[in-house]
A and B are shown apart, each in its own frame.
Chain A
């Protein structure tokens, strides 16, 4: 019986049609746990600086964790990893839903897909039966149509499907891989990697079961964890509003991005906030597999121009990227845009990011209507946002044509934005200051001038600008007493302070790495304050392999370091541990973070030092030795 892990990886080469199943060694599982950890372990040795992210050699890796598929709260997640076509460094994205749990039931922990199919295909995995199936009839269909057609074709409503929409097919660099219609592994362009392989979907179904090594210890600890979840002061709000509660909260703190982060306060925040969404449009709560927090919501728009719009979500990030970020206070349009992105298979964070960039370029006169697909890109013009999302998805495959965009395409703003904001800014003269990205990925929806640790977390994140690598929300949520105990200073719980933030970010990066490996939801684990010791107890009881709290922190540190070396190998330097000038030089104009800027120099050197990295952000050989990574020392 499988205790936690299945200890199996499925390897599929789409060029040759070769399908093999291999064991995953206990050593790898002990050192990397699962999900994000076993994925970077697999990616590290198989790609190099010259690997084309959209070429056949780039592996597309799906990973689950030991807890995935069990009753451990919020553990039904999966991680998708490849070299990113958006950034050229680590591509890595994590999704909830039901797909990961089903892959575990089918008998695998991981799938590694290489090569490129000649014609569109989908991969069908039903227990040990694995087939590469024709998907020519699905190519060109959106995600929602694809899921429906596959379920009909297989006559099974319960198959789980990870698929791409037109955006992934068209190699849009900000496309994701979707499951359960509205769940996204959105970040770092994994959809384009899948599209480059002509792989439309990965369909899974299984009934192998996941066993437990120590029933009593496991049950006791899971019940304790559930008790902690239900008794958390944040349970009620999280289980009603989910992340959307953050719109009004962040606005009160002066941390809500407004007009491409020109500001951090939005006077119309209530019009796009979670409370209004809940009262007016939400019909019921929705959950991912095995999650008692059910932070997602199903919504219906009953009247007006968007009548008939219904779907799941949206998350806080989506409300900001298409809402306050674009100065758009029309909530119904955001709900429509959420569906549109889920159907095309686009990352809502990056898509809103490139559009708010375009709107600022329009405001500054850098883009004219005639080379913006004839769209009026004035702030808040939601019809133009909708049109632009469609143009982005249709993307005229610049990547296939070559590195330079042909002149005729310069008229097509959608195709330029489909390359991501960094590349887009290269094609729009003088637009670079408005391209908010780090390491090539669009920033997420935090006002980092007023939350310093989050800013540091963005800057050092191994996948480019992103809130979820560190996710240091302790600086806003924890008590001073708790902060002092764990981080040695109560300033760690003061969002404006710099002191203690390097330590906080290191700690949360390791914590987040572990949730991404076990495949628990950090949106549950962090705000509801689940403990690393509880993860250790549960994982040990489940798998029969002993993990202490410290073991897990060490694994987290190992993963952060391996991802770092991987990125250095891809050509990244410490100069990319930065934040866009806007956050550094332009003080917040109004709201409760007024006057704040983010000074990375007050945290970054200490962060490097705590990590055991030199002043150029390179891990010392001592640190690598300590983590058992010596073989990976940079040449």
Chain B
């Protein structure tokens, strides 16, 4: 698994959605939040903004349910989806406990965070250090058994 991971200081999030824009633009060269692999959930009447992104689970429900065996571990240590194998059946979308997999409005295939070839754009563009991408501590039991 990856030694690095995007982690979230969610209390800093101002809800600007720049991460969604940067994500969609990196992957599809278009500004379309609905094609982003990160999502800022907003509860406006409570002033809450929470970025939601792939947690890179240890127990990978998405991979387990995929009938096409389209999920594979990338060099960066995060699960990616093989576009050639994916049929857009949505099984992974149903299985994901964090609701961070969706169908691309362009390819019709399942998409999820792939760490942008090692330089996550959401982290780069976030004005408030809500997201981070760095070496993870490896010592605690919790770190060893529960990612994030």
B16 touches A284 (CB 8 A): no
Tell me, in angstroms, the Cα distance from A144 to B47 when the chains sit together. Answer: 13
Given contacts A286-B14, A291-B16, contact A157 B31 (CB under 8 A): no
Given contacts A71-B22, A144-B45, A284-B47, contact A292 B29 (CB under 8 A): no
B 70-107 to A, binary, CB cutoff 8 A, 1 in contact else 0 = 00000000000000000000000000000000000100
Residues of A within 8 A of B41 (CB): 157
A287 touches B22 (CB 8 A): no
B47 touches A294 (CB 8 A): no
Residues of B within 8 A of A312 (CB): 47
Interface residues of A in 284-326 (CB under 8 A from B): 284-294, 298, 310-312
Residues of B within 8 A of A384 (CB): none
B127 touches A292 (CB 8 A): yes
A78 CB, nearest partner CB in chain B, Å: 16
Given contacts A144-B45, A290-B21, A298-B47, contact A105 B14 (CB under 8 A): no
Residues of A within 8 A of B127 (CB): 287, 292-294
Residues of B within 8 A of A140 (CB): none
B 10-32 to A, binary, CB cutoff 8 A, 1 in contact else 0 = 01101111100110110011111
For residue B44, CB closer than 8 A to chain A, the reply is yes
Residues of A within 8 A of B49 (CB): 286
B30 touches A287 (CB 8 A): no
A290 touches B18 (CB 8 A): yes
Residues of A within 8 A of B33 (CB): 105, 207
Tell me, in angstroms, the Cα distance from A287 to B42 when the chains sit together. Answer: 12
For residue A209, CB closer than 8 A to chain B, the reply is yes
For residue B58, CB closer than 8 A to chain A, the reply is no
Main secondary structure of the interface of A (DSSP, over half): loop
B29 touches A70 (CB 8 A): no
A30 CB, nearest partner CB in chain B, Å: 22
Tell me, in angstroms, the Cα distance from A523 to B90 when the chains sit together. Answer: 44
For residue A212, CB closer than 8 A to chain B, the reply is yes
Tell me, in angstroms, the Cα distance from A354 to B31 when the chains sit together. Answer: 43
A210 touches B32 (CB 8 A): yes
A105 touches B34 (CB 8 A): yes
Which of A209, A285, A290, A294 interacts with B30 by CB under 8 Å? A209
For residue B35, CB closer than 8 A to chain A, the reply is yes
B30 touches A207 (CB 8 A): no
For residue A1, CB closer than 8 A to chain B, the reply is yes
Tell me, in angstroms, the Cα distance from A210 to B32 when the chains sit together. Answer: 7
Given contacts A71-B31, A212-B29, A292-B16, contact A283 B105 (CB under 8 A): no
For residue A215, CB closer than 8 A to chain B, the reply is yes
Residues of A within 8 A of B105 (CB): 207, 209
A3 CB, nearest partner CB in chain B, Å: 10
A209 touches B32 (CB 8 A): yes
Residues of B within 8 A of A293 (CB): 127
For residue A260, CB closer than 8 A to chain B, the reply is no
State how many residues of chain B have any CB contact under 8 Å with chain A. Answer: 30
B46 CB, nearest partner CB in chain A, Å: 8
A 205-236 to B, binary, CB cutoff 8 A, 1 in contact else 0 = 00111111001000000000000000000000
Which of B18, B34, B35, B128 interacts with A71 by CB under 8 Å? B18
A472 CB, nearest partner CB in chain B, Å: 28
A210 touches B47 (CB 8 A): no
Interface residues of A in 103-137 (CB under 8 A from B): 105
B17: nearest chain-A partner, CB-CB: A289
Residues of B within 8 A of A291 (CB): 16, 18
A22 CB, nearest partner CB in chain B, Å: 24
A181 touches B14 (CB 8 A): no
A210 touches B16 (CB 8 A): no
For residue A175, CB closer than 8 A to chain B, the reply is no
B17 touches A290 (CB 8 A): yes
Tell me, in angstroms, the Cα distance from A293 to B128 when the chains sit together. Answer: 10
A294 touches B16 (CB 8 A): yes
B 117-147 to A, binary, CB cutoff 8 A, 1 in contact else 0 = 0000000010110000000000000000000
Residues of B within 8 A of A292 (CB): 16, 18, 127
B32 touches A70 (CB 8 A): no
Residues of B within 8 A of A442 (CB): none
Tell me, in angstroms, the Cα distance from A25 to B25 when the chains sit together. Answer: 27
Which of A70, A148, A210, A287 interacts with B45 by CB under 8 Å? A148
A160 CB, nearest partner CB in chain B, Å: 11
For residue A180, CB closer than 8 A to chain B, the reply is yes
B45 touches A181 (CB 8 A): yes
Q: Which of B24, B28, B125, B127 has the most CB of A within 10 A?
A: B127
A211 touches B14 (CB 8 A): no
Residues of B within 8 A of A70 (CB): 21, 31
Given contacts A207-B32, A209-B35, A285-B128, contact A294 B14 (CB under 8 A): yes
6 contacts between A and B (CB under 8 A): A207-B33, A209-B31, A209-B34, A211-B31, A212-B30, A286-B47
Interface of B with A (CB < 8 Å)? 11-12, 14-18, 21-22, 24-25, 28-35, 41-42, 44-47, 49, 105, 125, 127-128
Top 9 A-B residue pairs of the complex, sorted by shortest distance between their CB atoms: A209-B32, A298-B47, A287-B16, A207-B34, A292-B127, A287-B14, A294-B14, A209-B30, A71-B21
Q: A71-B18, A181-B45, A290-B17 are in contact. List 10 more A-B contacts (CB 8 A).
A: A71-B25, A98-B17, A105-B32, A147-B44, A209-B28, A209-B34, A290-B18, A292-B16, A294-B127, A311-B47
Interface of A with B (CB < 8 Å)? 1, 69-71, 98, 105, 144, 147-148, 157-158, 180-181, 207-212, 215, 283-294, 298, 310-312
